[in-house]
Amino acid sequence: MASPLYSKGLVLILAICIAFSTLEASEPPLTLAYYKSTCPTVLDIVRKEMECAVLSDPRNAALILRLHFHDCFVQGCDGSVLLDDTITLQGEKKASNNMHALKGFRIIDRVKNRLESECPGIVSCADILTIAARDAVILVGGPYWDVPLGRKDSKTAGYALSDSNLPTADESLLSIISKFIYQGLSVTDMVALSGAHTIGMARCVNFRNRIYGDFTMSSGISPLSQQYLSKLKSVCAPMKGSSDNNESAMDYSTPNLFDNSYYQMLLRGEGLINSDQVLYSSALAVQTKKLVAKYAENAVAFFEQFAESMVKLGNITNDDTYVNGEVRKNCRFVNT
């Protein structure tokens, strides 16, 4: 049993995190009309390419949304996640939190190629990814939001930051909160943005500890929950090995539809990964538990907050890019 001093320490940390949760992401020099005169068709081109991508495979929506999140949490939304390794640059793609987790790069390549044909040297890869993430959500039933534009592409990447800044599947609630607050995002933003897990897949290595740990404790012994758990165990063995990369939908109810069923799963104790379920089941989930219940009951409230939080996420910029950044010709490489 934890000592009273330890418990008080956790409560103090949580209080500090909640107090700072009113911090706002920094306001960058972005505008809705940034490409009005230089590339007026940018939004149409991105939308058409995303329509093709999602129509061919609805899971592509989640891939692009995840790429955007991983980009913005590492030195801001600057397209650094798109960079390949070279002799002189170590990209972020092979960082432990990104390897095997990030896909969809070819979709961004196709969008970039179209835009370079239409408006050469004008639209940054960072802006392309931000617009594409918005369109991805819309195409699977999610909300619309206006995307401020004008980001520049970085000439550097943050390999080490990918491992320190990004939340992991088995992370504690307080640690996740602190990582969002570090980015200028609130507890409310964290819970709303976590709702992106209503689409997409998770690998066995990320939910093994959950299904062989406290899943039954949080979900109870209802027949449906036990049936779901049995299915998860059939694709994910208890020991590391050949099943590590097997995948399961993070929202088994409506895996290709952006809705609020993710939060309803948390209410039932059926969150696939630990870092999701702690939003509702942790002893410290005072504020987050109320938000989960709110969004589970009210899809409109979730959509409104998700849209607002996505704008804040996209506004996390890399200030250095406005001095030393560029508009890449190829999203995978710095211009020569």
Task: Pick the catalytic residue from 68, 70, 100, 197.
Answer: 70
How far apart, in whole angstroms, are the C-alpha atoms of residue 31 and residue 209?
A: 44
Q: What is the pLDDT of residues 5-61, one digit of tens each?
A: 345 445 544 554 444 443 345 455 899 999 999 999 999 999 999 999 999 999 999
Is 68 an active-site residue?
Answer: no
* Number of neighbours of residue 229 by Cβ within 10 angstroms: 18
How far apart, in whole angstroms, are the C-alpha atoms of residue 78 and residue 221?
A: 46
Reported in sequence order, the residue ranges of 166-272 that DSSP labels E, i.e. its strands, are 201-203, 247-249
* Number of neighbours of residue 174 by Cβ within 10 angstroms: 16
How far apart, in whole angstroms, are the C-alpha atoms of residue 297 and residue 279?
A: 16
Half-sphere exposure of 185 (CA within 13 A, CB side): 31
Burial 98-129 (b: 16+ CB within 10 A, else e): beebbebbebbbebbebbbeebeeebbbbbbb
Q: What is the pLDDT of residue 3?
A: 47
How far apart, in whole angstroms, are the C-alpha atoms of residue 87 and residue 74?
A: 21
Q: Is the CA virtual torsion 296, 253, 223, 207 positive or negative? A: negative
114: which 2 tokens? 């179209």
131: which 2 tokens? 């617009």
In three-state secondary structure terms, 174 is helix
CB 236 within 8 A of CB 211: yes
Q: What is the pLDDT of residue 221?
A: 80
CB 190 within 8 A of CB 18: no
Q: Which residues contact residue 45 at a Cβ distance below 8 angstroms, ignoring those fewer than 6 apart?
A: 111, 114, 115, 118
Q: Which residues contact residue 220 at a Cβ distance below 8 angstroms, ignoring those fewer than 6 apart?
A: 269
Quickly tell me which residue has 């066995």 as its tokens: 204
Q: What is the pLDDT of residue 4?
A: 46
Q: What is the pLDDT of residue 28?
A: 53
In three-state secondary structure terms, 248 is strand
Q: What is the pLDDT of residue 9?
A: 44
Q: Give pLDDT < 50 ranges for the chain.
A: 1-6, 8-9, 12-13, 16-24, 26
